[in-house]
């Protein structure tokens, strides 16, 4: 059947037929393969960071589920965290005082990181750099206190293969979970420091794109959130 003639004053090619996407799964596959619509509103850097964090979530979840399975099935008494992680100050043992300070430091670093992202989008290089370096300093402080905690337990005889305070699995669970998280914090400290120095140097001023600061913030907030779960499941249970 012949198509309708064009309206007066309208050229035949002024209204080309629109190409509709294929319906259902075929449309999704087509969009992803042509890279047109899949991440239209999400930059690739941010999307890749989210995918990395999702994979990391599965790893931490496996660690914590394995830890809880051991706790619920083991018959040997599990050490009391309030006693194991107590510090003697002024001749008095204060339970979990170091862990509470570590948690406060790491949660505070999320606030400085959020402010750094805010000032980055305002193109305030000086404040962005200062806040990112402050976040990295808080992260380094956390790692330092964690190293002190490790050295204290090692001096008391706790090992990945044994524990004089009770169940042998305690040492393996402690060093694996806190060590893996501490590695993430250490990497984050280096990552934030590099990005902060590049912001100060004006490397992102030429492109006008400060999204890298937000992407670094996503990683840091994830590390902080994971610590909340470790604190709840390992130290309070």
pLDDT at residue 165 in the model = 85
Long-range contacts of 49-55 (CB under 8 A, 24+ apart): 49/215, 49/218, 49/219, 50/218, 53/218, 53/219, 53/222
Question: Does residue 21 lie in a domain region?
Answer: no
pLDDT at residue 26 in the model = 60
CA angle (211 as vertex; 206, 212 as ends), nearest 5: 90
The domain containing residue 111 runs over which residues? 26-235
Question: Does residue 12 lie in a domain region?
Answer: no
Three-class SS of residue 126?
helix
Question: Does residue 13 lie in a domain region?
Answer: no
HSE (CB half, 13 Å, CA atoms) of 213?
Answer: 34
pLDDT at residue 128 in the model = 95
Neighbours of 128 (CB within 10 A): 25
Q: Which two tokens mark 19?
A: 């190409």
pLDDT at residue 220 in the model = 97
**pLDDT tens per residue, range 133-184:** 999 999 999 999 999 999 999 998 888 888 888 888 899 999 999 999 999 9
Question: Does residue 20 lie in a domain region?
Answer: no
- pLDDT beneath 50, residues of the chain: 1-2, 10-19, 36-37
Question: Does residue 205 lie in a domain region?
Answer: yes
Closest to 131 measured CA to CA, from 120, 145, 143, 144: 120
Q: Quote the number of domains for the chain.
A: 1
Question: Does residue 17 lie in a domain region?
Answer: no
Q: At 94, phi and psi to the nearest 5?
A: -105, 115
59-to-63, 165, 189, 231 alpha-carbon distances in Å: 6, 28, 21, 17
Q: CATH number for the domain including 138?
A: 1.20.120.80
pLDDT at residue 236 in the model = 86
């Amino acid at each position: 059947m012949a198509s309708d003639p064009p309206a007066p004053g309208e050229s035949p090619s002024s209204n080309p037929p629109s190409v509709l996407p294929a319906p259902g799964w075929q449309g999704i596959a087509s969009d992803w393969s042509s890279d047109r619509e899949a991440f239209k509103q999400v930059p690739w850097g941010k999307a890749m960071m989210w995918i990395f964090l999702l994979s990391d979530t599965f790893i931490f979840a496996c660690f914590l589920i394995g830890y809880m399975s051991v706790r619920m099935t083991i018959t040997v008494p599990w050490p009391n965290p309030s006693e194991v992680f107590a510090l003697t100050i002024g001749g008095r043992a204060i339970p979990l005082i170091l862990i509470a300070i570590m948690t406060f430091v790491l949660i505070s670093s999320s606030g400085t990181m959020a402010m750094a992202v805010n000032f980055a989008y305002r193109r305030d290089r000086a404040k962005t750099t200062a806040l990112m370096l402050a976040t990295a300093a808080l992260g380094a402080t956390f790692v330092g206190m964690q190293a002190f905690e490790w050295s204290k337990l090692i001096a008391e005889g706790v090992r990945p293969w044994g524990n004089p305070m009770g169940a042998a699995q305690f040492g393996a669970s402690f060093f694996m979970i806190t060590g893996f998280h501490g590695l993430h914090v250490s990497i984050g400290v280096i990552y934030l420091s590099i990005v902060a120095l590049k912001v100060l140097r004006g490397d992102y001023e030429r492109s006008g794109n400060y999204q890298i600061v937000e992407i670094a913030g996503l990683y840091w907030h994830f590390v902080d959130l994971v610590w909340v779960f470790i604190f709840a499941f390992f130290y309070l249970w």
